[in-house]
Amino acid sequence: MSKKNRTKPGTSPGTLIFTGNKKLSEPNVTLVQYDEADYIERHEKNHLPSLRPGRFLNWYDIRGLHQINLIEQIGKQFNIHQLALEDVLDTQQRPKFEEYDNGIFITIQALTYDPEQIELKTEQISIFSGQKVVVSFQEDENELFIPIRERISASKGRIRRRGADYLTYALLDLIVDNYFLILDQVEDSIEQLEVNIVQKQDNNYKNNIHQLKIVILKLKKIISPLREAVSQFSRCDENHLDSETSVFVRDLYDHIIQLIDMVDTYRDIITGLQELYLAEISLRMNNVMQVLTIISTIFIPLTFLVGVYGMNFDTMPELHWSWSYYALWAVMLALVLFMVHYFKRKKWL
């Protein structure tokens, strides 16, 4: 859980305040313009390339959000609602979908997972999709959407023929597909932990278990609200979602349901692992106690016996019999054998 820069309570709603903590030197803006025939790609720094009107679909990929005036300029140019812009800048948003008259607005969290630290990093992606224009906002310069750009430039397929709604879907689909990879890595962490606990290579996994739990909670918090958001997307106005594309959005919805199922299953498994670990500790304590008990139970009576014949009473007839020392050894040996037999029957040995 990273600290947030909260908006000060009492500031006017819709006030644009950047709450993230990664600052590039300058925001990067990539403008991709394409139709079935042509494909143009332009890269700018902290400056908005002008929109060419007409047949092209324009995709602005904004990376870096700390230049408020750039964001405001974008908002003005494409007529994005003030509250949506505020959500773009508040980088700890719950995933959500909003429909406005002139377009739709979606926020989603892109994920990276560090299996060493068992830590999940999020980066908020906001997408505004309007008439022949898509604007995607992203906090840092990591070029997440290169595969999409390549697909557009390479193929003349579906993505080149369809509109802003399909591009929006494709961006979401890329992020959601990535969730599956993240979940596979989390699953690897879980399995590794399970193997470690069962094979007792080391003995302190409680922190790992706790951190995995936090990761899974975070995943749940990020993926669960997507269900509602994508469901709203799939049911939104025909102006904003073509019926042909909506089949794909429903497919995306199915993927999210599957992700939620997986996260729930992982959660149950990690709970099970914790119980396994606690049972493991208890069993190990049992073993420790058994060793102690066996040793004590065998030697304490023997120590008593040898103590008896270390006493200095004047009258202790046994001390003077020539065979008594050997007899005592025999008695003690018998005692040990009896004990060993007893522990064997109790399955402690």
Among 306, 331, 334, 349, binds a second copy (CB under 8 A): 306
Residue 227 touches a second copy, criterion: CB under 8 A: no
CB of residue 264 vs a second copy: minimum separation in angstroms?
8
Give 174 or 340: the residue with its C-beta nearer to a second copy.
174
Closest CA to 139 of 224, 300, 20, 257: 20
The neighbouring-strand residues paired with 28 are 45, 63
Q: 20 by DSSP, 3-state: which?
A: coil
**Total residues interacting with a second copy, rule: CB under 8 A:** 112
Residue 326, both tokens: 């050997």
Give 237 or 314: the residue with its C-beta nearer to a second copy.
314
Which residues have CB under 8 Å from 312's CB, separation 6+? Answer: none
Among 195, 292, 331, 334, binds a second copy (CB under 8 A): 292
> CB–CB of 194/262 below 8 Å?
no
Residues 256-285 that bind a second copy (CB under 8 A): 257-258, 261, 265, 268-269, 272-285
Among 180, 192, 330, 344, binds a second copy (CB under 8 A): 180
- For strands 57-63 and 103-114, give the pairing: unpaired
DSSP labels, 100-164:
ETTEEEEEEEEEEEETTTTEEEEEEEEEEEETTEEEEEESSS--TTHHHHHHHHH--SHHHHS-H
Residue 236 touches a second copy, criterion: CB under 8 A: no
Q: 244 by DSSP, 3-state: which?
A: helix
Selected range binding a second copy among 23-31, 51-59, 167-175, 233-241, rule: CB under 8 A:
167-175
> CB–CB of 290/240 below 8 Å?
no
**Site track for a second copy across 61-100, x = CB under 8 A:** --------------------x-x---------xx-x----
CB of residue 137 vs a second copy: minimum separation in angstroms?
18
d(CA 250, CA 235): 9
Selected range binding a second copy among 66-74, 115-123, 128-136, 300-308, rule: CB under 8 A:
300-308
Q: What are phi and psi of 92, to 5 degrees?
A: -115, 30
Give 70 or 170: the residue with its C-beta nearer to a second copy.
170
Question: How many Cβ atoms sit within 10 Å of the Cβ of residue 122?
Answer: 18
CB of residue 228 vs a second copy: minimum separation in angstroms?
9
Among 79, 142, 244, 291, binds a second copy (CB under 8 A): 291
Residues 189-208 that bind a second copy (CB under 8 A): 191, 194, 198, 200, 203-204, 206-207
Give 240 or 255: the residue with its C-beta nearer to a second copy.
255
